[in-house]
Amino acid sequence: MFKTLQTYKLLFFRLLAIIAAIEISIYFFKINLFFTGIFGFFIVFLLIREMYFYVRNFVLIYNKTIASILQDDFSSDFKKHKENSNYNDLFQLYDTLKNRQNEQISKDIIYRSILNNIETGIIILQKHDNDWDIFLMNDYFSSHFNVPKVSKWKYLKNQLPSLCEIIEVDDFHEIKTSVEISINEQNNQTFVLQASRTEIFERDYYIVLLDSIQNVVEKKEKDAWVNLMKVISHELLNSITPIRSICQNLQDLVEQDSLSAEDLEDIKNSVETMLRRSDHLQKFVEGYRKLAMLPSPKKEKTELKDLIDNCLQIMNPLFKKDGIEVENLISLKRLINVDAQQTEQVIINLLTNSINALKNTSKKQILISAEAKENRIFIKITDNGNGIEKEIENKIFLPFFTTRNEGAGIGLTLSKNIIEAHGGYISFKTENEKTVFEICLVEG
């Protein structure tokens, strides 16, 4: 604001100088000093010419700077004009916007580089009037689906009609489904399609993600193998390390010329420890074999209520011993198509899990319920025990993972495998500070 007032003052003083020069020149003419008057008008001409170029340069620089800002063109160089303090505010605005644009361009390059290195097909659409433009298509999408980086939705439809039709049928709303796409006239491949819509600064965007089913499965398998190997190596080292240490100690003892009573006691304790660790290792291997060699279920129509009653009857002595109150709310007569023996094993495993969770609880309660929905049976086993800590929620179904010293860590894994072999699933959640395990099975 101060610089603007200063500019106006300079213009005002120039204008006063011109008026004063005109008045003086006229005065010289009046007193018959013609040559002095002519010289005065020449000075007036020079002053007017200087003022013209001053205003012209100011307007040109101002217009050029504003035009550059409006057109996002920050390639102009105003260094030679920066010494003029009249343009300080203007150039400061220009430099600020230039730096912001450079920062935004840098971010765009980084984000696009990240998106181009992700092995997932990504398209971002931007709505323009009633049509959609391709705002971004990453390299993986372009190369994997053999699609050139087109700018319009209608061009993409010509390249991938099967994908575009699914999106158009849902009217560009949120989608999560699988889609079969033929690439290079080969056999159809299945992809996971996820799409979402968002509005940013009153502009409509539609984000499409395409991931190969095979990639998803391979990643899950790799994660599962990594977790399994961690558990196996941990268990093996926990047994082999103390056994090797004990063997080294025994070797030192037997190399002595004579053995004292204390040495014999050390040997006895060492052998007992080795046997205990060997037994643990044997149980571990048997547990692995049990998981790996799970027989296919021999399904038959089974009454749900009778199956639950049998399980409760088997577990009843343990309930009484630990003072656990069990409430069975299953009264509906429903047939389920399952291997009764395997399913009983799952129920017993979950009830055993609840008993262990209730050990440090004063009022111990287990609730069993079921509901039929969409040709499926949902069996729920709820306890008011300690619950499952957030840190281990994603590990409880891992083979050999356990939080109990005496546990083998295969109960929940075996239960999960059995239910999945039946075409169902098993999950858990926390409701009102209670742990709920839910089994989903197909109704018979």
**Token pair for residue 205?**
């965007």
What pLDDT does residue 427 have? Answer: 85
pLDDT surpasses 60 at 126: yes
- Coarse DSSP helix, strand, coil percentages of the chain, rounded to the nearest 5 percent: 55, 20, 25
Q: How confident is the model over 66-90, as a mean pLDDT?
A: 66
Q: What distance in Å separates the CA atoms of residue 323 and residue 140, rounded to the nearest whole number?
A: 60
User: Distance (Å, rounded) from C-alpha 101 to C-alpha 70?
Assistant: 12
Judged by average pLDDT, the poorest of 108-122, 145-159, 274-288, 397-411 is 397-411
Question: Where residue 286 falls among pLDDT bands split at 50, 70, 90?
Answer: low
Model pTM? 0.42
Average pLDDT over residues 351-371: 86
239, 277 Cβ separation under 8 angstroms: yes
Length of the chain: 444
How remote is the C-alpha of 400 from its chain's centroid?
Answer: 28
Indicate if the pLDDT at residue 283 is higher than 70.
Answer: no
pLDDT band for position 214 (cuts 50, 70, 90): low
Binning pLDDT at 50, 70 and 90, where does residue 240 land? confident
> What are 315-331's pLDDT values in tens digits?
888 888 888 888 888 87
Query: Residue 285: is its pLDDT beyond 70?
Result: no
Highest mean pLDDT among 6-15, 72-81, 82-91: 6-15
- Residue 2 pLDDT: 42
Question: DSSP letter string over 135-193?
Answer: EEE-HHHHHHTT----SBHHHHHHH-HHHHHHHHHTTT--EEEEEEEESTT--EEEEEE
Answer yes or no: is pLDDT of 237 > 50.
yes
Distance CA 122, CA 191 (A): 13
Q: What is the pLDDT of residue 1?
A: 45
Amino acid at 417: N
Mean pLDDT, residues 403-423: 73
pLDDT beyond 80 at 14 = no
Q: Check residues 101 and 2 and name the one with the higher pLDDT.
A: 101
Tell me which residue of 417, 410, 395, 401 sits closest to 288, measured CA to CA.
Answer: 410
Environment class of 132 (CB within 10 Å of its CB; exposed 0-12, middle 13-18, buried 19+): buried
How much of the chain, in percent, has pLDDT values that exceed 90? 2
3-state secondary structure at position 124:
strand
Could you tell me which residues are beta bridge partners of residue 84? Answer: none
Domains of the chain: 2-100 (no CATH), 119-214 (3.30.450.20), 217-292 (1.10.287), 300-442 (3.30.565.10)
DSSP class of residue 77 equals -
- Computed over every residue of the chain, the mean pLDDT equals 78
Structure tokens at 413: 């894994």
